[in-house]
Structures are given as structure tokens and as C-alpha cells.
């Protein structure tokens, strides 16, 4: 599971070849004991949960980095190495 960014206690990852369970482009986000799968670029929650304030941070980060996230998704579904994305500052 390649971690692509970390900020405010959130760990954002994108799995390689991850199209079976969720057919949409998405990221996996962990925060403490919470885990969520979030659609990109829209920020829709597909599975799991995050505390409300943390979900807002993730959605802001997705909006800022949507082009980079989609480029990473294209790499990941082909099994190629993804790149790091700047954290939310």
C-alpha cells in the first residue's frame, strides 16, 4: 500500500491494481482507528468513516490535488509506481 501523503494525523494511500471492490478512482485514508475509502476527484465516501473535521480536510486536499490524484490513479491501476503528493498545509 503506497502512502502518497500524510497530514494532520491522516495517512492517505492508493493501492496498486485496486479496481475490483470499488470501480471508481479512490484513495484509502486512515486516521487512528478510523478508515475510509473516498472517491476521487469528488470526495464521496464509498466505505468506512472519518471524524467530520478530518473528512473536511481530506476533501479540501482532494480538491487542491485532484489532477495529481487522477494521474496517480492511472499509474496505480496499471501497477506502476505512484508519486507522493504534497500534504495539506
Rounded to two decimals, the pTM is 0.92
Distances (CA, A) of 69 to 21, 36, 46: 19, 16, 16
| pLDDT score recorded for residue 23 | 78
Q: pLDDT tier at 52 (50, 70, 90 boundaries)?
A: confident
23, 24, 41 from 20: Cα distances, Å:
6, 10, 19
Q: What is d(CA 78, CA 53) in angstroms, rounded to the nearest whole number? A: 33
> Residue 1: pLDDT band by 50, 70, 90 thresholds?
confident
Amino acid at each position: 500500500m503506497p502512502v502518497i501523503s500524510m497530514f494532520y494525523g491522516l495517512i492517505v494511500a492508493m493501492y496498486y491494481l485496486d479496481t475490483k471492490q470499488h470501480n471508481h478512482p479512490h484513495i484509502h485514508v486512515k486516521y487512528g482507528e478510523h478508515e475510509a475509502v473516498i472517491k476521487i476527484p469528488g470526495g464521496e465516501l464509498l466505505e468506512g468513516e472519518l471524524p467530520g473535521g478530518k473528512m473536511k480536510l481530506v476533501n479540501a486536499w482532494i480538491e487542491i490535488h485532484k489532477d495529481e490524484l487522477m494521474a496517480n490513479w492511472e499509474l496505480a491501476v496499471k501497477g506502476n509506481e505512484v508519486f507522493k503528493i504534497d500534504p495539506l498545509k
